Structure 1
């Protein structure tokens, strides 16, 4: 679910090391490296899970090239947006992509473990994150920048969630997308620190195990947790033609910029 679902505008951009993709049915233009991490479905789904409203503030930890934040901005206007990124390459791409889409994002270079003072001085209504999916002990990728995007370095899931909660205002919200097999670590990191936890499994097809989960929580509340019915992304049991086979709900989210309705999943 993390590849092959962006909408190419052209195979190459003016820069021979970049390509330009389109997300949300062409609403978002995204320059991405030909080699290295490239965003596809996951950040679009993450953005759709954020219940932000105009006038609120949103921080993305590990903003990368800006896909999730830009998808959120395409759906909700009037947000105060910020992003933290450790990789200069992706920070530069996030700045270019923000300009390309006419979106203002306050971009900060730094590590989640030690955010710069200008970020530590702020709190946000929403903090979103798409942390590296693989533990530090996983085999490394031969492409260094891809390896840093996909494999944990010194910071694990607990560190990422701790950083998100530290930057959220009291009763503020966090949202993340991750591999389903790491859900126990995510829930452990949220225990006694957040409530109103909602877990939305993401299944590629009906009857398949969920490979991803979206988790939302609120800082400092004690509202009970909810495990929702899966959001199924594709019709049928196999991809049979060279065209998208998204379900009605998935197409509305991924192509038409609709938010994920967490109440619909429970009906």
Structure 2
């Protein structure tokens, strides 16, 4: 079923990716591009984009890593359909397979991924003012799964030694670390994203590996904007050039 909402066609990665998305609902900005850049995928890896929306993060990852396969799982039927359209629009149908489904009860057989990347809903249920648009509200507000439940579901879908990579609001880092505790994960990486050099981090990218015991690492962060408001060279390399955030996956991982 195709979405009947007004749509726009936008561009990512300096115009290399085309993205159809709702004009008034949830719209991808820079978060999914940064998330994709943080995934240390290798050729032939299997990847799950949990809560894939219209497919922005998955498509950015595939632009950088064309030899991986990405499965998307999206609760909202309209967004899942747009993700399928975007896969076709960018000639990535065979490599990006969006499915409609609930993270709380994934489709049978969906497990054992080398990577799970995710941009969970930012706001706890009952906090803040929900967006007037129902699709945008569903994407931003926790519903059937709170943040801890979302992280539990993501870890469960990984193979042993697989890696979880997520992006979230910096103020919820404590909740993320609590949610990871007791999940059998280690090698936790925290990468702050600062809007400007003199500002507090607004986002964090957190990585963790299932079934390993390496200690937590606080990584060098990335400043996104200079004093003039323009993107810094590192940010431009990621957002326009599609470069990887190499520091989140330092060294050769054991399989």
TM-score, normalised to structure 2, is 0.92
Q: CA contact under 8 A between 2:39 and 2:249: conserved in structure 1?
A: no
Corresponding residue to 1:258 among 229, 243, 247: 243
Q: Per-residue CA shift, 1:5-53, capped at 9, x if unaligned?
A: xxxxxxxxxx981111111111211001111010010000000000001
What is the distance in 2 between the residues matched to 1:264 and 1:197?
11
Question: Which one is further off, 139-148 or 46-55?
Answer: 139-148
2:121 aligns with 132
Determine the structure 2 residue equivalent to 1:223. Answer: 214
Q: How far, CA to CA, are the matches of 1:231 and 1:96 in structure 2? A: 32
Task: Tell which has more relative contact order, 1 or 2 (C-alpha 8 A, sep 6+).
Answer: 2
Structure 2 match to 1:211: 202
Q: Deviations over 1:157-197 (max 9, x none)?
A: 11111111111000000100000010011001111321000
Do the aligned residues in 1 keep the contact of 2:189 with 2:207 (CA within 8 Å)? yes
Q: Partner residue of 2:231?
A: 246
Measured against aligned partners, the alpha-carbon deviations of 1:109-137 in whole angstroms (never above 9, x if no partner) come to 11111111132xx3100001001101111
**What's the secondary structure of 2:246's corresponding residue?**
coil
**SS of match in other structure, 1:53:** coil
Determine which of 20, 24, 35 is the counterpart of 2:13.
24
CA distance in 2, matches of 1:140, 1:258: 34
By how many angstroms is 1:145 displaced?
0.6
**Are positions 1:118 and 2:106 aligned together?**
no
Provide structure 2 residue ranges, at least 5 long, that are not aligned to the other structure.
251-255
Distance 1:263 1:211 in 2: 18
Aligned length: 243
- After TM superposition, list the pairs within 5 Å mapping 1:133-152 onto structure 2: 133-138=122-127, 139-152=129-142
Q: 1:183 to 1:67 in 2, by over 3 A?
A: same
Tell me, in whole angstroms, the C-alpha distance in 1 between the residues paired with 2:248 and 2:18: 30
Shift of 1:228: 1.7
Distance in 2, matches of 1:209 and 1:31, equals 32
The alignment's TM-score, normalised by the length of structure 1, stands at 0.88
Q: Helix, strand or coil: the match of 1:40?
A: coil
1:62 pairs with 51, 62, 65, which one?
51
User: Deviations for 1:76-124, whole angstroms, at most 9, x for unmatched residues?
Assistant: 11112101111001000000000001112222211111111132xx310
**Map of 1:4 onto structure 2:** none
